């Protein structure tokens, strides 16, 4: 399922809680980029208040600036999983095979 997110400005978002049945369940939040972690931290807090058992965050680009990792753990995240497009301590998924395959298909490299 999903939550309704509205970006009000470059740094401010509004997350509308939905009646998502997460009580006792493990939840994975998937986002393209986690920069400061504010949106994901707020989402984690909402899910924990709705009774989620464990909440994980996953992203493609882990910018993770301004103590974002600390913010996510304070919000209650169990773990953070990201690709290595930006090498961080949470980068556990390599995009190299996907890029190599795409390059091989183009036959330009």
Unique residue bearing structure tokens 């939550």: 3
Q: Say whether 74 is catalytic.
A: no
Select which of 5, 18, 49, 74 is catalytic.
5
Which residues participate in catalysis according to the annotation? Answer: 5
């Amino acid at each position: 399922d999903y939550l309704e997110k509205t970006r009000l400005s470059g740094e401010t978002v509004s997350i509308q809680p939905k009646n998502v049945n997460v009580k006792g369940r493990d939840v994975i939040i998937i986002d393209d980029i986690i920069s400061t972690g504010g949106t994901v931290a707020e989402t984690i807090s909402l899910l924990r208040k709705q009774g989620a058992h464990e909440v994980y965050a996953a992203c493609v680009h882990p910018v993770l600036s301004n103590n974002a990792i600390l913010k996510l753990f304070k919000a209650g995240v169990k773990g953070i999983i990201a690709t290595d497009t930006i090498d961080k301590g949470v980068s556990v998924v390599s995009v190299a095979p996907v890029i190599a395959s795409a390059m091989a298909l183009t036959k330009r490299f």
